[in-house]
Amino acid sequence: MYNSDTATLPSVASFVFHFKKAKFWGDNMDDELKQALHEKGLRLTPQRQIILEVMLNLGGRHLTADEIYSLVKKQTSDVSLATIYRTLELFVDMNIFRRFDSGDGVFRYEIDTKKSEHYHHHLICLNCGKIKEFNDDLLDELENRISEKGFVIADHCLRFFGYCKECKNALENEKDS
Amino acid sequence: MYNSDTATLPSVASFVFHFKKAKFWGDNMDDELKQALHEKGLRLTPQRQIILEVMLNLGGRHLTADEIYSLVKKQTSDVSLATIYRTLELFVDMNIFRRFDSGDGVFRYEIDTKKSEHYHHHLICLNCGKIKEFNDDLLDELENRISEKGFVIADHCLRFFGYCKECKNALENEKDS
DNA sequence: CTATTTGCAAAGCGTTTGCCGGCCG
DNA sequence: CGGCCGGCAAACGCTTTGCAAATAG
């Protein structure tokens, strides 16, 4: 599937736009991150700064720890995988990132925009490995039905596996020839 | 969460009933399994037999490979974890079991009753770790909407994390006292 | 100054694989 | 006999951890 070194990710521009629009971070995200860390008695280090930056500007979304590591390493050689994992765990705790697993046993991370927008689901292409998103509030209805049965929902995860439009077309052409 | 040695699983009786009702296997499952294997040039071995048996009669559902290993080992010392994994992979290929991942990085296995009933979703309790099921066809509608966008769906996975009725009550009582 | 944070290397965990002997058909 | 099969142990990939040195505030 994805290779760390060649990770090209979809619609970065649109994501940045989307993210800015969400107004989760102001213009000076460093200060905001710094303050958020301070509240917990923690510090803003270059590594943490770059990791957030990478996820915002370069990485796009749905990256594995290793992919993030590669991207961060392009900015500074002063990082280790261990720090990536530690920072990711920290940011997940702080609700800055979200961790989910794409079904192949490797965790992936994405910016957590939960606060400002509806949950989204993942469409995972079994051919090219790309992960797209799909928004729908149909799940609200389903959650209501489950709540009625006495189960208190804290979180959910919905993934669809299949073939994206591009791969489907490519595979069909292959078959024809 | 679960400990292999103390794995007590919910509603085994109701599951067996449910499973028999599904008529996926007749009364003599050994013969049916044997034949299914023969068609692929494979053999029915004691280990394979016991693994299926355990999943049907003892284990209930949603077991990890290690939990299955423990349960099988109670019946025969002549097993290894490697065989469990190899058999699980085989049975998954044969659509006898299904593999899914419960979000904690460990794969779990369950009988695959896909052929005879609607898909079910998992309700995972964050307190006791029990996994319950929930059937609903609301997802069909959602799948239709996704298909309209050109994504061909092959499979899906829907999990809810939260607190089951029992744990919710227990936690509330704890808080009161 | 000192608690936090880091890189490094090693350990941990669930899972997979190579090998060889054993067994079924 | 010839393939399938199993146990064993080692390898594997991702993730976590212990430790001593570095550093933010």
Distance B83 CA to C18 C1' (A): 14
Q: Distance (Å, rounded) from C-alpha B37 to C-alpha B25?
A: 14
Bases of chain C within 7 A of a CB of the protein: 3-10, 14-18, 24-25
Handedness of CA A70, A74, A75, A76 (dihedral sign): positive
Q: How is domain B1-115 classified at the architecture level of CATH?
A: Orthogonal Bundle (1.10)
Give pLDDT tens digits for A73-93.
999 999 999 999 999 999 999
Tell whether A146 is within 8 A of chain B (Cβ).
yes
Distance CA B74, CA B64 (A): 16
Token digits for B173? 């009582």
Q: CATH 1.10.10.10 region(s) of chain A?
A: 1-115
Highest-pLDDT range among A73-77, B110-114, B147-151: A73-77
Q: Report the chain B residue with the minimal C-alpha distance to residue A121.
A: B158
Q: Where does the pLDDT of residue B158 fall: very low under 50, low under 70, confident under 90, or very high at 90 and above?
A: confident
Residue A134 to residue B149, Cβ atoms within 8 A? yes
Whether A137 contacts chain B with CB within 8 A: no
Give the sign of the dihedral formed by CA B42, CA B43, CA B47, CA B53. Answer: positive
User: Does the pLDDT at position B51 exceed 90?
Assistant: yes
**Closest nucleotide to A43 by C1' from CA:** D24
Q: What is the CATH number of domain A117-177?
A: 3.30.1490.190
Q: Which two tokens stand for residue B107?
A: 């794969």
Counting as low any pLDDT under 70, the low residues of chain A are 1-27, 58-61, 113-119, 175-177
What is the model's pTM? 0.73
Residues of chain B with CATH 3.30.1490.190: 117-177
CB contact under 8 A, A158 and B155: no
% of chain B surpassing 90 pLDDT: 36
Nucleotide nearest to A81 (CA to C1'): C7
Tokens for A76? 């500074």
Between B119 and B136, whose confidence is greater? Answer: B136
